[in-house]
Structures are given as structure tokens and as C-alpha cells.
A and B are shown apart, each in its own frame.
Chain A
Amino acid sequence: MLSGCGSWSWGRRSAGPVGWGGADRQDPALSGNGRVLASVVRRDGRDTVLLQEQPSGTVLPLRHLQRLQPHRSPSLSWNGRYLALLVQQGPERRVLIEDRASGRLHRLPLPGGLVPESLSLAADGRRIAIATEGDGRSRVQLYDLTALLEPDLPAGLPVRGAPAATP
């Protein structure tokens, strides 16, 4: 069933300038709370992830991702603490997660022969879905990240497994 346009009104805005002239902007991903936008822009001929606060457009720094272009398929956790994406490291395409709070970079090894095509990080950072090509077929696989990442939760939400606060 395709509803008519009805009375819904769609508020819209452009994600704003990227700061490098009229560059293409692709592969958008919003943080869970909508305050950070990741996208991929062409900079110096290389596809590079750009992280911006919303709605100000202020560019947020990233620590580890230079010289690993092209970047693709960025995905953010709830507060934008974690940025997962695909990078090119020599002949290999790899899955990386940058922890913007601690500055750590996590590399996610995949079984041999599987080439990652896209990914999606759960907003709480507990799981990641990775689409791969390999062995003649495309597949999506899920990975548990709880041993690797602290949860990134909405403010005020308790961390599962943490001791309850005493009154």
C-alpha cells in the first residue's frame, strides 16, 4: 500500500558545504542521536571520510585514517564515539573502528578470501554487520563487539551488567 502524501510534512535541509569547493558528498551516516554526520567526500582525488557536528557543520578531527583512502561505508554509534568504516591498506580492504574518545584504532580481521563491501555498526556499539564478497557470493555476517568496545549509549541509560545504584 502506497499512501498518499497526506498531511505529513518533511522538514529538510542540505548537509551543507564540505569545505573543498563543490565536491561530491556520498555515503551518509548519522550517529544514533543525529548530532554527528559522517559522509565521504573527494579530497585531493581521494575518497575521504568527513565527520561533522550537526547542525553547525563543524568538522570533527579523526586521528588514524590518513593515507588509508579510499574510505567507504562509514557508520557511527549513538553519540558518534565510534566510527566504523572500510579503508584501503595496500591491496587489502579492511574494517576499522576508530574510538574517538580513547583515540584507539581497532582492526577487525575477516576470514581469508572475504572482501568487505559495506558495514553497519549498531548504535550501542555492541554489534556490527558486514557485507562481504567472496567464494562467488555476497553475504552479510554479524559480529559481537562487546569484548572490544564499551557501549555507547544515550545519556542516562545504564550500562547493562553494571552494579545497580544504591539509594
Chain B
Amino acid sequence: MTHGHGRLGRMVALAGALPLLLTGCLAPLPQPLVGLNQRLEAAGPARAPSLSGDWLALIVSRGGRDRVELVDLQRQQPVPLPGLERPDAQPLSVAVDGRGERLALVRQLEGRTELVLYRRNLMALQPVPLQPPGVPRRVSLRADGRELAVEVSRQGQWQVDLIAVP
């Protein structure tokens, strides 16, 4: 009798747990965007993505050089970034706003590490001075492009600066 109750109890418990188990099994999974991923794969080794709105900024290695690419996800095509690239610059971190208009970039150039802001409509690159001076590393941009957050090394300590973009 006790065994029967035990078995019944286990069956009731299992029946109760079944919806949970099924939910676990059937939980929706993120779906890879196959077409876009194939295009990204073909573009070469890539890292440091920044996704905002319909724009993806990332650093792509091609021909032994790292360069910043901005991909229009609607058209599934990279867009030109005239005035951004220099063959002697090494990009470290990039961030894009939700309109694909502003890019914040940390790069090494001529032995220095600098933070710059690129405006696509002006095709212009603007240095962003750090006060007090420091060495920037990773950068993040607000979706409306009006503020950036940057990791800065000063006197052996990593800090975060928030900088309003004019």
C-alpha cells in the first residue's frame, strides 16, 4: 500500500512537472540570421561588434589589416566610410548609433591610442579629447548618438568617462 502510494505520488509529481519539462524543451531559441551571417563569414575574420538599429559596426581583418566596417542590415551590404580609414591605423573598438550616422572609434595611430568620432553625413573625423589625459580602450555609444561611454586607463587604473557628444 505504501509502495502504491509512493508510485502514485511519483506519477502525480511527474505529471505536474511535465508542462515545465515541455516548456523547457520547447522554449524558443534565438535564430541565426543565416544570409547575413554567410556574408559576414565571407568578409573575413571579424570581432568587436556593435549593433544598433539596422546597423552593425565591426572590425574585419582582410589582407593582414584590420579595418572598421559598417553594415546596413536592411540591405545586407557594407556602406562606404570615406575619411575614416587610414592604412597605418589599428582599430581597437568601435560603436555605432541607431541611425548609422555616428561612429565612435578607439584606434592606435603613430604610437598613440586615441578616441575619435566619425560623422557619416560630414565624412569627417573628430578627435575626442580625454580630460584628464588617459589611454582609451573600449567605447560604447548611446543609441541616439548623443553620449558615449569610454574605458580609460589613468595612472594604472581603469575608469569610465561619460562624454556628451555635441
The answer on A and B forming one complex is yes
Q: Does B125 contact A (CB under 8 A)?
A: yes
Chain B, interface residues (CB within 8 Å), range: 35 or more
A39 touches B129 (CB 8 A): no
Contacts of A147 in B (CB 8 A): 28-31
A130 touches B49 (CB 8 A): yes
Contacts of B158 in A (CB 8 A): 24-26
User: Would you give the shortest CB distance from A34 to chain B, in whole angstroms?
Assistant: 4
Closest to A141 in B: B37
Contacts of A129 in B (CB 8 A): 49-51, 56, 58
B147 touches A34 (CB 8 A): yes
Contacts of B120 in A (CB 8 A): none
Could you tell me the dominant secondary structure of chain A's interface residues?
Answer: strand
Q: Does B20 contact A (CB under 8 A)?
A: no
Closest to A77 in B: B143
Q: Does B88 contact A (CB under 8 A)?
A: no
Chain A, interface residues (CB within 8 Å), range: 35 or more
Closest to A111 in B: B32
- Cβ < 8 Å to B, chain A residues 1-56: 1-3, 5-6, 8-15, 22, 24-34, 37, 39, 54
Residue-by-residue, is A152-167 near B (CB-CB < 8 Å gives 1, otherwise 0)?
Answer: 0000000000000000
Q: How many A-B residue pairs have CB under 8 A?
A: 174
Partner-binding segment picked from A60-68, A85-93, A131-139: A131-139
B140 touches A138 (CB 8 A): no
A6 touches B46 (CB 8 A): no
Contacts of B50 in A (CB 8 A): 120, 129
Given contacts A15-B160, A28-B160, A33-B142, contact A139 B45 (CB under 8 A): yes
Q: Does B48 contact A (CB under 8 A)?
A: yes
User: Would you give the shortest CB distance from A146 to chain B, in whole angstroms?
Assistant: 8
Bound: A79/B52 CA distance, A:
14
User: Would you give the shortest CB distance from B97 to chain A, in whole angstroms?
Assistant: 10
Contacts of B129 in A (CB 8 A): 5, 10
Give me the interface of B with A, judged by CB distance under 8 Å. 28-33, 36-37, 40-41, 45-53, 56, 58, 61, 73, 83, 98, 116, 123-129, 131, 137-144, 146-151, 157-166
Give me the interface of A with B, judged by CB distance under 8 Å. 1-3, 5-6, 8-15, 22, 24-34, 37, 39, 54, 78, 108-109, 117-124, 127-131, 137-145, 147-148
New A-B pairs, 6, CB < 8 Å, besides A15-B159, A118-B49, A147-B28: A12-B163, A30-B148, A39-B149, A139-B46, A142-B56, A148-B30
